[in-house]
Amino acid sequence: LLHFILTFAFRWLLLMVAKYHLSNQLISFNTLFVGNNKRAVHVYREIKQNNAYLGRNVVGFIGIDANYKNGLSKFLPQLGQLQNLEHIIDHNR
């Protein structure tokens, strides 16, 4: 019983600290979108609405089709094309 209580208390405390850091944006995770279609815009708006609980820092997006300018380009910078994905991820850590 003592082991259960100590484990529960420690995990609860750890989760409360993590939640506090995420909700106050003390910790965030860099996020990169791959694609810029309507679905990506929908996901971007959802993340922006719930960002206090998700802790996401949206850096930009990677374009799949170079000719497709509708979508995320209205909200985020395009960081490159799919061929350069590995370099872009390394650069935006």
Share of the chain above pLDDT 90, in %: 26
Concatenated DSSP letters for 26-72?
Answer: SS-EEEEEE--SHHHHHHHHHHHHTHHHH-EEEEEEEESSTT--SSG
- Tell me: pLDDT of 90 over 70: yes
Q: Are 88 and 79 in contact (CB under 8 A)?
A: yes
Q: What is the pLDDT of residues 29-58, one digit of tens each?
A: 888 988 888 888 899 999 888 877 788 888
pLDDT score recorded for residue 68 = 64
Give residue 15's pLDDT band: very low, low, confident or very high (50, 70, 90).
very high
Q: Which two tokens stand for residue 24?
A: 């106050």
Q: Are 26 and 55 in contact (CB under 8 A)?
A: no
Q: Are 92 and 60 in contact (CB under 8 A)?
A: yes
pLDDT score recorded for residue 67 = 65
Lowest-confidence region among 3-12, 47-56, 63-72: 63-72
pLDDT score recorded for residue 4 = 95
